[in-house]
């Protein structure tokens, strides 16, 4: 005959008496100390409140801002970023002109920028936002005469970003053009020296003096 199961030895933990539940609203864990379970007791010991900081919802401390934030920072995401990059928290949102953080002195790469933006929208809508060159989705315009001041609708073509970059006017630029006004090849032809010699003079800082002497 097969023996039955052996009786449990020691304390029956399944039917142990409970000392009560946690006093935190909605928590059914067993009481640990000072009216809370182990988890909320440790939170209360560290933060002075049994409510986790992640659950505390407050509004931004900047007057007029109703965005949510946490007590760790006191600011919403928008004003926390402003504080990090050094912009005044009192500055209104959506300002224009000199108060805008992207203000560049009132200058633009394109003269009469407003006219270009207005005609750009008209040209794109008339073309149903289809690129003139590849037939893809267009979100930019291309100047036929490669100018920056002729913004007439007849001079604008709808273009995607790739085609706009491919067909735009090619401007030659390098650090030698920016610093000396000519390429390293043109400077070598003026001075009658090789590119390696011009580069060596540039690295040692002697090129401006030697270039001026050769032009005199």
User: How confident is the prediction along the chain (216 residues), in pLDDT tens digits per residue?
Assistant: 555 555 555 545 455 545 688 888 888 888 888 888 888 888 888 777 787 765 555 788 888 888 877 656 778 888 888 888 887 888 777 777 776 666 666 666 677 888 888 999 999 999 999 999 999 999 999 988 888 788 999 999 999 999 988 887 666 667 788 788 788 888 888 888 888 888 888 888 888 888 888 776
Is residue 101, in this structure, part of any structural domain at all?
A: no
Do the domain assignments include residue 15?
no
Domain boundary among 131, 146, 167: 167
143 and 163 co-located in one domain: yes
Does residue 144 fall inside a structural domain? yes
Is 11 inside a domain boundary? no
Residue 162 lies in a domain: yes
Domain extent, residue 139, equals 113-167
Question: Does 119 share its domain with 149?
Answer: yes
Please work out, in degrees rounded to the nearest 5, the angle formed at the alpha carbon of residue 66 by the alpha carbons of 62 and 68.
95
Does 78 fall in a domain? no
User: Which of 99-110 are b and which e, b meaning 16 or more Cβ less than 10 Å from the residue's Cβ?
Assistant: eeeeeeeeeeee
CB atoms within 10 A of CB 167: 16
Residue 63, in any domain of the structure: no
Same domain, yes or no: 163 and 179: no
User: Model-level pTM?
Assistant: 0.37
Q: How many domains in the chain?
A: 3
Residue 155 lies in a domain: yes
Claim to verify: residue 117 and residue 160 sit in the same structural domain: yes
Same domain (yes/no): 158, 183? no
Q: How far apart (Å, rounded) are the C-alpha atoms in residues 84 and 76?
A: 12
């Amino acid at each position: 005959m097969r023996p039955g199961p052996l009786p449990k030895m020691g304390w029956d933990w399944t039917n142990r008496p409970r000392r009560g539940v946690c006093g935190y609203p909605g928590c059914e864990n067993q009481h640990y100390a000072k009216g809370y379970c182990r988890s909320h007791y440790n939170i209360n010991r560290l933060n002075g409140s049994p409510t986790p900081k992640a659950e505390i919802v407050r509004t931004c401390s900047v007057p007029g801002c109703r965005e949510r934030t946490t007590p760790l920072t006191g600011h919403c995401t928008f004003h926390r970023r402003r504080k990090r990059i050094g912009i005044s928290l009192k500055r209104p949102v959506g300002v224009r002109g000199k108060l805008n953080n992207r203000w560049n002195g009132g200058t633009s790469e394109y003269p009469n920028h407003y006219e270009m933006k207005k005609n750009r929208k008209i040209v794109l809508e008339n073309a149903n936002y289809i690129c003139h060159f590849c037939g893809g989705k267009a979100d930019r315009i291309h100047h036929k005469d490669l100018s920056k001041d002729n913004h007439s609708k007849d001079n604008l073509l709808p273009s995607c970003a790739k085609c706009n970059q491919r067909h735009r006017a090619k401007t030659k630029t390098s650090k030698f053009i920016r610093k000396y006004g000519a390429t390293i090849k043109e400077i070598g032809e003026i001075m009658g020296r090789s590119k390696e010699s011009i580069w060596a003079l540039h690295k040692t800082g002697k090129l401006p003096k030697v270039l001026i002497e050769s032009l005199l």
